[in-house]
A and B are shown apart, each in its own frame.
Chain A
Amino acid sequence: MKEMIISELSQALHELARGFAHYLPRLIVMLILAFAGWAVAYFVKVLLRSLLRLLRFDKLSENTGASQLLNKAALPPASEVLSRFVFWLVWLGFILVGVSVLGILGLQEQVAKFFFFLPRLFTALFILFFGLLAAGFFSRAALLAAVNANVPSPRMLSFAVRSIIIVFVLSIVFEELGLAEQTMLVAFGIVFGALMLGLALAFGIGGRNLAQGFLERRFLRPKKEEGEDELSAL
């Protein structure tokens, strides 16, 4: 009996040792990959940060309005956020490759999914960035046009233009990420439809006089006070 116990124990220890010997190199490979990944990710982060500073990315993000959002959330400048994001992305990628080396079946599938998701993530970020850029550009254009045409509440008009573009961009981003596609589609439809209907009602019924005034200013020569002369710029 005693011998049997000793034999089973020694067999179990042998198997454990064999298993450990089997996994140890893989574990070491994973650790090496994680360490190398950290070094590569750090290098990419430093390189990207320098490149973004050189390209005056912070100025660009200031123009898109992204910097203001980051400030409100007490986050560092856009170039720092993006380089940190890329750092974690690269490192996580290496760690996951390391994990897949371990040969754990369930994890391998998740790792594959993660790498499959990366292109979509980058596309979504690309759309978000240029969408914010477009929102900033068109809202400023609307603001300037409204100020120079002496339209009342130019900032509100500019804000409306920005909001519509951002809502539209966010709906595309979520669709690209595949996050709650149906919910986002319905939510976008409701928000956009409600916004348009609200504007139509407000402008057509509530602001009939305002609409009339706006259209007159837009399409008719401005009414001059009696005897008023036009100034010529050139």
Chain B
Amino acid sequence: MSHDALALPPLRTEIKLAEETFLTDDFLRQLINVGEVDVLVGLATHNNAKTIGAIVQSIQSCILRSYTRDRVVIINADGGSRDGTPELVTGISIDDLRPLSNLHSLRTLHSISTQYANTPSSTAALRTILAAAELLRAKACVVMSPESPSIDGEWISKLLHPVRYDSFDLATPTYRRHKFEGLLITNLLYPMTRALYGLRIREPYMQDFGFSGRLGSEFLSQNAWADGSGEDGIELRLTLAAITGKRRICQSFLGQKEHVERRSADLVPALRQTVGPMFATLESTFSTWSSVTGSQPVPTFGPEHEVSLGPLRVNRKRLRQMFSSGVAELETVFHSILAPSTLVELQRIARLEEEDFVYPAELWVKTVYEFAASYQKSVINRDHIIQALAPLFRGRVLTFLTENRNGTAEDVENNIEGLCLEFERLKPYLLQMWETRE
């Protein structure tokens, strides 16, 4: 199995990395034993024993079926699992699959697991995977989220193929989602990324994605985490790095995105992971986004998106109440962040009856842009700015739910498209605020 590894002399980069790296000696030893690879599959895990077995088997089956001539490694970066997840990853032997599928690999397939910390951190996990990819000189890499039970081998192929064979540097996913799933993506991340950088990437915050070794090395050398600014939202930062680095980006339709239930209180961490990094990178990427007007589609394999319309029962009253109380209680905070006219308008809609309640797209876009400008100016602590957005986002969600309650897939798409165009139309407003620094 490991003839390639034995044939390789120690590489200069390996020695350099071994001297400077944050990787453990044991992990480094395992990587050096693997040698160079063509394909790397990364799994960032933390207590995923329920799903990880099936996912690893899917990966192995996909590799045996479609990448028989490639040298492959599965890297598991674990954040201190206590349910035996790492053991499951390394314990599943490829020999288990052979009798079932009659598939054979002509090259090597390794599985390695390392614990990067005792507590989970997507940044540390991805950094470990990127460092391993650089050390092994992987040509194409794919990172899969271990949370989703619906992953099959096809997902890996769909993300890997464009990078391995079509010279793309980044393959972002698109999914079939319920119309009310991923609301932060549809109401903020996608429209704002599109308006700022001019590319219609449906899932800028990626949980499953493929990337080239070149992009990985470039991103790793940017060292965005050295000053602590890259602590959150590493997935979004990678997308933005690919955009600003003018790398070739595509989208691949993967299939149904399973709903992973989270607490509603998880909204603030979600904002920190996504909106925080998006606002933070605006400063360094100003020269790129300030000159962009309009937007272009990116090459897409499969449908650009799919929407399911099943019934969903949402507590609209609670959303409404949390919006109104947020606007009232955080008035002093909003005084520092928002323009007086925007705040007055928010206070007006906060007083509306539930059936009359509308948070218009224009007001929402202005709110987001004013938050971005305030974040850049650090009018108050930056994390407080992100937290203050949560109640307002709930208000916007309520309007989105109301507008699309009986909407078809096309209606929902038109609604999102309308919001995107509003973000593009009001981009000069952000530029104007950006240029009038205090």
The chain A residues found within 8 Å of chain B, CB to CB, are 56, 59, 63, 137, 140-141, 143-150, 154-155, 221-222, 224-225, 227-234
Contacts and interface: CB of A to CB of B under 8 A. Distances in A.
A150 B322 contact: yes
B387 A229 contact: no
Given A143-B329, A147-B326, A234-B184, A63 B265 contact: no
Contacts of A233: 182-185, 262, 266-267, 270-271
Nearest to B260: A232
A154 B262 CA distance: 24
Interface of B: 180-185, 205, 207, 259-268, 270-271, 273-274, 312-315, 318, 321-322, 325-326, 329-330, 333, 336, 379-381, 384, 387-388, 390-391, 397, 438
Nearest to B387: A144
A19 to B, nearest CB: 61
A229 B314 CA distance: 6
B312 A140 contact: no
Given A148-B391, A230-B259, A230-B262, 13 more contacts: A56-B438, A140-B380, A141-B384, A144-B384, A146-B329, A147-B325, A147-B326, A148-B265, A150-B322, A228-B313, A229-B313, A233-B184, A234-B182
B270 A234 contact: yes
A155 B312 CA distance: 34
Contacts of B314: 228-229, 231
A230 B264 contact: yes
Contacts of A155: 329
A141 B384 CA distance: 7
Given A143-B330, A229-B314, A232-B183, A149 B262 contact: no
Contact of A231 (B207, B264, B268, B384): B264
A225 B381 contact: no
Nearest to A217: B265
Contact of B315 (A137, A145, A228, A232): A228
A56 B336 CA distance: 14
A156 B433 CA distance: 34
A154 B330 CA distance: 9
Nearest to A136: B380
Given A231-B183, A233-B182, A147 B265 contact: no
Contact of B397 (A154, A222, A231): A231
B185 A234 contact: yes
Contact of B267 (A56, A148, A228): A148
A113 B205 CA distance: 64
A146, A224, A225, A232: which has the most chain B beta carbons within 10 Å?
A232
Contacts of B267: 148, 233
A224 B379 CA distance: 37
